[in-house]
């Protein structure tokens, strides 16, 4: 139509208005019924559409499994039934993932704040409703660009950070040798000690390299996305606006912040309890009066220590 408007093609090359109803059949019939001269002028401007080439562009990422399953069930007898079963499978997979995520949020909150255990229903609603309202952003026409922004640039950094801490906690705080012994007891057979060296050295090093590379990629390179250009009828690479990078950094900090915040909270609690224990021990020393029997003095010290231990608990 643009070529006709630019007088590069004659008006007879105008496609029918009903083309969008069934392009695969109407387009072929219209093109084959055109006069020979008009058809010869149109053909140089057409591009070949290869189905295998188009599928190769989408056969990346999580969509590979969906495309592969769709191609397989399309050749089955009763393909409509298998299509329904496939989408029921996808729904159950999504629900199981959501239930696991919600449980992973609610359980730590109830373990930390015991008063929330009495209102489990309200807590669940209080977690699900904000998550649902936030997810409405992704069903807008521009929602796919937000999904790509979070999927490509946001999820990797917090995941690497958490996995690095888990690896260090298991290998260096709890102890890789102790963890290896626990696995040997649970499995009922000895495990190669090479895993201990992998947990202690190789895994933290590789995870740290991946974390730093993702961090450098975020701050050094521009964050881009693929957008559909209606003029060229093709996908083009565009750069996210500057506020998108600010939003990305804020989300990363917000995701990582609870880990160091809880660490300093626990460290402060332990430090204050230790100082209280020391002060209580010092206060007990001058309480012993001259002339008191030794047995009575020992009893008084033991009773005071019991009180301090109760305060620490």
- Distance separating alpha carbons of residues 260 and 80, to the nearest angstrom: 52
Rg (CA), the chain: 33
Residue 267, both tokens: 């460290």
> Which parts of 113-154 fold into alpha helices (H)?
120-135, 143-149
- Distance separating alpha carbons of residues 66 and 62, to the nearest angstrom: 8
Run of H or E including 229? strand 224-229
Feature table: binding site: 93
Contact 25, 15 (CB under 8 A): no
Residue 80, both tokens: 């409509």
Feature table: binding site for Na(+): 93
């Amino acid at each position: 139509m643009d070529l006709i408007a630019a007088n590069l093609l004659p008006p007879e090359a105008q496609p029918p208005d009903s083309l969008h109803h069934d392009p695969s059949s109407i387009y072929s019939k219209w093109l084959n019924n055109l006069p020979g001269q008009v058809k010869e002028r149109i053909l140089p401007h057409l591009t070949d559409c290869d189905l295998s080439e188009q599928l190769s562009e989408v056969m990346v990422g999580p969509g590979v499994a969906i495309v592969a399953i769709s191609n397989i069930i399309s050749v089955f007898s009763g393909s409509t039934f298998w299509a329904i079963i496939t989408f029921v499978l996808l729904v159950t997979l999504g629900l199981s993932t959501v239930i696991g995520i919600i449980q992973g949020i609610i359980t730590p909150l109830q373990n930390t704040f015991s008063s929330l255990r009495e209102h489990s229903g309200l807590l669940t609603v209080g977690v699900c409703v904000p998550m649902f309202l936030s997810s409405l952003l992704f069903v807008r026409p521009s929602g796919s660009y937000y999904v790509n922004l979070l999927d490509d640039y946001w999820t990797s950094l917090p995941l690497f950070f958490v996995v690095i801490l888990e690896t260090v906690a298991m290998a260096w705080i709890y102890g890789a040798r102790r963890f290896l012994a626990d696995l040997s007891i649970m499995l009922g057979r000895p495990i190669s000690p090479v895993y201990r060296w992998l947990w202690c050295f190789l895994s933290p090093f590789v995870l740290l390299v991946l974390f730093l590379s993702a961090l450098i990629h975020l701050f050094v390179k521009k964050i881009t996305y693929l957008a559909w250009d209606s003029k060229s009828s093709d996908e083009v690479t565009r750069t996210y606006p500057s506020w998108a990078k600010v939003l990305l950094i804020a989300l990363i900090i917000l995701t990582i912040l609870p880990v160091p915040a809880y660490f300093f909270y626990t460290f402060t609690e332990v430090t204050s309890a230790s100082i209280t224990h020391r002060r209580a021990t010092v206060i007990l020393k001058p309480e012993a009066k001259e002339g008191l029997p030794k047995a009575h003095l020992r009893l008084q010290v033991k009773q005071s220590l019991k009180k301090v231990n109760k305060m620490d608990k």
